[in-house]
């Protein structure tokens, strides 16, 4: 009988319907919504020794939209072999309500952890979020000034990393 395999999958979500990405008691979060869909499908069990059975590569606050985040889960290898990427995407997206869309999946090394990235790239995009046509040009540039200059990102690093 086969064992488990680690599955990495890419997804995006509309943040305005979530209270951030990490599981929080009695609040709708991205991670809890993904896990609930995976439980319903029987891909993961609710009991997990290591904490959350679905590991996200990064966290977001409430209201933040994400085009791409990566998650990892361990599922029975026979399940993955029987459905492949196409079957997985269809199954999980049918369980989700449309505020989250899973758009790619593949097997990864069993010890792979999406939190241990060598680097991360963050892009802040404004298109499609609002109707900018009515905004005054001066006001628009005023809003964009929050992105100009040097910023201290110390709070986004691990405590034991040298800045």
Which sequence spans correspond to the domains of the chain? Answer: 4-108
pLDDT for the residue numbered 5: 95
Candidate from 63-77, 95-109, 146-160 with smallest mean pLDDT: 146-160
Q: Give residue 34's pLDDT band: very low, low, confident or very high (50, 70, 90).
A: very high
Domain 4-108 sits in CATH at: 3.30.70.580
Determine whether 61 is an active site residue: yes
pLDDT at residue 116 is higher than 60: yes
Candidates 59, 23, 30; CA nearest to 156 is 59
pLDDT for the residue numbered 84: 95
Percentage of the residues of the chain whose pLDDT score is greater than 70: 87
Rg (CA), the chain: 18
44, with CB counted inside 10 A (0-12, 13-18, 19+), is buried
pTM tops 0.95, yes or no: no
Mean predicted confidence (pLDDT) in 63-75: 91
24, with CB counted inside 10 A (0-12, 13-18, 19+), is middle
Mean predicted confidence (pLDDT) in 60-84: 92
pLDDT at residue 107 is higher than 90: yes
pLDDT for the residue numbered 76: 92
16, 61, 81, 94: which one is catalytic?
61
pLDDT at residue 74 is higher than 60: yes
């Amino acid at each position: 009988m086969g064992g488990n395999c680690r599955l990495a999958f890419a997804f995006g979500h509309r943040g305005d319907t979530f209270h951030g990405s990490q599981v929080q008691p009695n609040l709708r979060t991205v991670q809890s919504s993904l896990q609930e869909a995976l439980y319903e499908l029987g891909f993961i069990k609710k009991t997990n020794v290591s904490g959350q059975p679905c590991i996200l590569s990064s966290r977001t606050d409430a209201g933040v939209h994400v085009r791409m985040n990566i998650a990892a889960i361990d599922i029975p290898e026979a399940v993955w072999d029987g459905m492949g990427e196409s079957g997985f995407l269809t199954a999980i997206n049918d369980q989700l309500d449309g505020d989250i869309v899973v758009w790619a999946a593949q097997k990864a090394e069993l010890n792979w952890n999406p939190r241990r990235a060598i680097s991360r790239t963050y892009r802040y995009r404004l298109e499609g979020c609002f109707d900018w046509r009515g905004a005054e040009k001066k006001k628009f540039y005023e809003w964009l000034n929050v992105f100009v200059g040097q910023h201290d990102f110390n709070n986004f690093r691990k405590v034991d990393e040298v800045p």
